[in-house]
Structure 1
């Protein structure tokens, strides 16, 4: 993640995502990653998961979602 994040904080949390979402992130990260002379990938998939989820939260209005107190009510699931 870039150093100059303004008022953003790095928060380490545990979240639930589907196996398919994780597989897609890992596959895309590997496809885009450079390889070393042995042909192995040079990518930190955990960093990629963090980056893609952070980008999703930024573009999908997470701050507004977090401000809405109705989102803190227990879900019916």
Structure 2
């Protein structure tokens, strides 16, 4: 199975095969940013689904963290 890399180009996310000439071109391009996630998949669609799952996990963790911090801040302000 090939490996896939992901890049942010403006409002678009590009999925490219790792080690390809296009991936090297995007890495060198000043208008793109590499997403810190690579995966192996049978095709582009499966790779994009794995990225979506990864991002959903991160968003859930951030949401939980924000809720915990907010609750802690409220308790701390009440104790002062």
Q: Fold-level match, TM-score > 0.5?
A: no
Higher relative contact order (CA closer than 8 Å, sequence separation 6+): 2
Which structure is larger by alpha-carbon Rg, 1 or 2?
2
Greater helix share, 1 or 2?
2
Greater strand share, 1 or 2?
2
Normalised to the residue count of structure 2, the TM-score between the two structures is 0.29
